[in-house]
Amino acid sequence: MRAQDLVGQTVNDTYIVLRLLGSGTMGTVLEVRHVRLPRRFAMKVLHSELAEGPEGFARFRREAEIASSLGHPNIVDVVDWNRLPDGTPYLVMEYLVGEDLGQRMARTGPLALPAVLELARQVGSALSAAHKQGVVHRDLKPQNIFLCREDRGEEVVEVAKVVDFGISKILGADGNYTGAMRVMGTPLYMAPEQAMGLAAQVDGRADQFALAAILYHALSGRRPFDGNNVVEIAMKVMTADPVPLRQLVPELPEAVEGAILQALSKDRDRRFATIGDFVRALGAMPTGRTGSTWHLSGRMAPMAGVSSEHLRSDPSGVQVRPVPSGETGELVLPGGVEPLLIRRPLLDERGRSLLALAVIALVAGVISWAAVRAAAGPMRRPVPAVASPPPLQPVVRPPQVPRVRLQFVVHPPTAEVYLEGTRVETEVQVPRGEVGLRLEVRAPGYLTQTDMVVPSSDQRILIRLAPRRR
């Protein structure tokens, strides 16, 4: 049975499937509602072609076990896993409202420095917790960092959550799920040792490299390593130096550039020893700055930020001063490590041999991956990186964009509907696209409901608000 055919059905007498949310490399994601609890979840159903093989199932089960055991506020929470009646495995996760980092950057372009530093702190905290449990993510990329909105009563805050531990490596585990020379992960953000297929050398410093590549992309609007195909990208990861960040972002502090370039060192021994060291070495982070989506103060503005509770329980070593009543907290970093600008030595004979083997392994992996995806059907192409626009210059959009109709049926009928913070009528036309729009429905005496609407086609959306408790 196809996952999308489950819509409208009840799975294992526990989850009512409401709608299809999306599809990825490992599985299809559905929105579900618990039969006995007034709560929504996201259900990931493993693709049928992967469910038939032992490796795909093992990776899927490992994702459930790892995510549920880590228990970190910046890692998606997995609450259950089981099998469909036909034997296909699925896992149940917390339902997140928001967009992934890739969608955010495609929509807004480069992010402001305070936003990037706060993002590094949160994602670094999640990776630090995973590394302490002996888990390396190995596929960190913007699409696996979800920026979700959480309702905290008086305000709605934004939290970064790391998702998809499906190809993670458990250090010291007996099972070898991926093989010693098999390339796993996303080449655009992959560490050189991982691109060369040296699985035994992949540790937490590979995640550090990936995080540095993501921060580079978020600050500059371009990836540190890019190309026309995965082989070309992997070759650049292993042999090419990225353009210095300050050439692309001249106003960037030298300490931030130095820390990111050190974390992007080809030699893993020249990177920082831990993710926490990398976060601290990002330097004198500005505090209390306003005017950006993310804030570095302990108290967050509505719809933009992270709860001070999360800021205070950070395994990466970053601390937050206590927040007196009526004031904001301040993010405090210990003395920064002086970053080193490392120049990579030329490859020796052994390095060239390993490079040749890595390219062969990579090509074989691409062919295998293409065969699997061909059986699974077409896959959406990723959104290309958006070039960094000049300051204050409006984004130029292509003319004659097709539009779709969104019709909202709300209860109570007096409820107000807002799209991206702007009040709209119960029927509205918007440009067609794949980027989610923030939907908010309010009414006096009722709990405000928020969600995301992807305007890919005409839609009729039913929304029933729950009354506030007296």
| Same domain for 104 and 80 | no
Residue 470 falls within a domain, yes or no? Answer: no
SS (H, E, C) 144-199: HEEEEEEECCCCEEEEEEECCCCCCEECCCCCCCCCCCCCCCCHHHCCHHHHCCCH
The pLDDT of residue 452 is: 78
Q: How many CB atoms lie within 10 A of CB 380?
A: 8
Contact between 33 and 16 under an 8 Å Cβ cutoff? The reply is: yes
Q: Are residues 275 and 418 in the same domain?
A: no
Same domain, yes or no: 351 and 416: no
Q: How many structural domains are present in the chain?
A: 3
CATH code of residue 35: 3.30.200.20
**Averaged in consecutive runs of 10 residues, what is the pLDDT profile of the chain (470 residues)?**
85 94 81 93 83 65 74 89 87 90 94 93 93 87 90 78 70 41 61 84 92 97 89 87 95 95 95 94 50 32 30 32 29 30 41 58 56 49 45 46 85 90 89 76 89 82 82
138 domain-assigned:
yes
Same domain flag for 86 and 121: no
Prediction pTM value? 0.60
Task: Identify whether residues 87 and 119 lie together within a single domain.
Answer: no
Q: Are residues 436 and 299 in the same domain?
A: no
| CA proximity to 11, closest of 88, 63, 113 | 88
Q: Are residues 347 and 426 in the same domain?
A: no
Are residue 19 and residue 156 in the same domain, yes or no?
no
382, part of any domain: no
381 domain-assigned: no
Neighbours of 443 (CB within 10 A): 18
Residues 87 and 184 in one domain: no
Determine, yes or no, domain membership for 205. Answer: yes
**Is residue 142 a part of any domain in this protein?**
yes
Predicted pLDDT of residue 385: 46
Dist. CA 451–CA 458, nearest whole Å? 17
88 and 104 both lie in a single domain: no
Note whether residue 385 is domain-resident.
Answer: no
In-domain check, residue 446: yes
Quote the domain boundaries for residue 161. Answer: 98-376
- Catalytic site positions: 139
pLDDT of residue 51: 62
Same domain for 44 and 160: no
Instruction: Give the pLDDT score at 202.
Output: 87
